[in-house]
Structure 1
Amino acid sequence: MFPENFLIAERIALDLEAGSKKRVLEVLAELLHTDRQDTTAVFDQLLERERLGSTGMGQGIALPHARLEGLSQARGCFVRLAQGVDFAAVDAEPVDLVFGLLVPGAATQEHLQLLAGLAGRFRDAHLCAQLRQGQSPQQVLQLLATSGPQATA
């Protein structure tokens, strides 16, 4: 189970047209920003993390993530792309399922727990197939919230 309000239907985008990794990160920033953290700050942190190494974990999955000072609680978003994009993934395959994660700057342990839980979920080929077929943000939310290893803070 995710922390309360970690992922909501309004932060799920399906069949998004994005021609590049940079555009995907821009969309994630738009979905993850808050009233206190603007889109540019979120994008900059996501991009900085990608510069350290790709968050493409293979099998069409990427888990871009960042820590952000001033954020009060972890936030997640999910994007399913209409066409896969090059994310410099470990298997060199295009990415079409992207889960963005933003955590408070000091939340090191929570960050690691959430990443581990998400990675476990996305290693489930059956779940990924269901996510690729999901018809609505609500359906995708239900799939993600009730699947795989428990990711609690």
Structure 2
Amino acid sequence: MKLIDLLDQDDITLNVPFTSKKRLFELLADKLGDDDKMSMAIYNALVQREKLGNTSLGNGIAFPHGKCLADREIRIHLVKLKQEVNFENVDEVSVGVVVAAVFPKQTNKSHQEIMNDAVAFFRQHRLYKLILDATSKTQVLDNIMEYFQKCNS
């Protein structure tokens, strides 16, 4: 399984104004959680991971992630920001796309492989530009899937 296999239109939010990482993580937790308790657990996991080190991947992409789910469940949500921002970038490219993922509390090798594949895939600048240029959730998802097929053919 690839992380993009988990992504559909309901997992994409466009034109989100950025005010702070805290507010962004709150939004992501609300999108990823089923209820207030789960959303709070996701928020705390994202914040705790970010405290360990910045989750900017470079090339305009940030990948906040955390571990807090039960069993083998994995959740993902993609946010296209209204404007590119300084996310304590690891390079000179401002962040305009945030891909958040939450994993089980107990991860295994397959979870690590999914994470590594997702990081390698989403950090590609050409994909970043395709996502930025998209004007709808359908177009974002189509661009991601087409780019994935090109990379794997």
TM over 0.5: same fold?
Answer: yes
1:2-151 counterparts in 2 under 5 A? 2=2, 6-35=6-35, 38-70=38-70, 72-91=72-91, 93-148=93-148
Percent sequence identity over matched residues? 30
Tell me the alpha carbon deviations over residues 12-71 of structure 1, each in whole angstroms, 9 at most, x when there is no partner: 011111211111111111111125952111100000000000101112110011111425
TM-score by structure 1 length?
Answer: 0.84
Consecutive aligned runs of 4 or more in structure 1 exceeding 6 Å deviation: none
Judge conservation of contact 2:69–2:102 (CA < 8 Å) in 1.
Answer: no
Stretches of structure 2 that go unaligned for 5 or more consecutive residues are: none
Question: Scaled by the length of structure 2, what TM-score is found?
Answer: 0.84
Q: Tell me the C-alpha RMSD between the 2 structures.
A: 2.3
Q: 1:131 is matched by which residue type in structure 2?
A: I
Superposition deviation, residue 117 in structure 1: 1.5
Q: Distance in 1 between matches of 2:34 and 2:71?
A: 8
The structure with more helix, counted as a fraction of residues = 2
- Matched-pair contact (CA < 8 Å) for 2:2–2:117: no
Moved more, 85-94 or 54-63: 85-94
* Residue 127 to residue 52, structure 1, CA distance change in 2 (3 Å): same
Aligned length: 150
Corresponding residue SS for 2:138 = helix
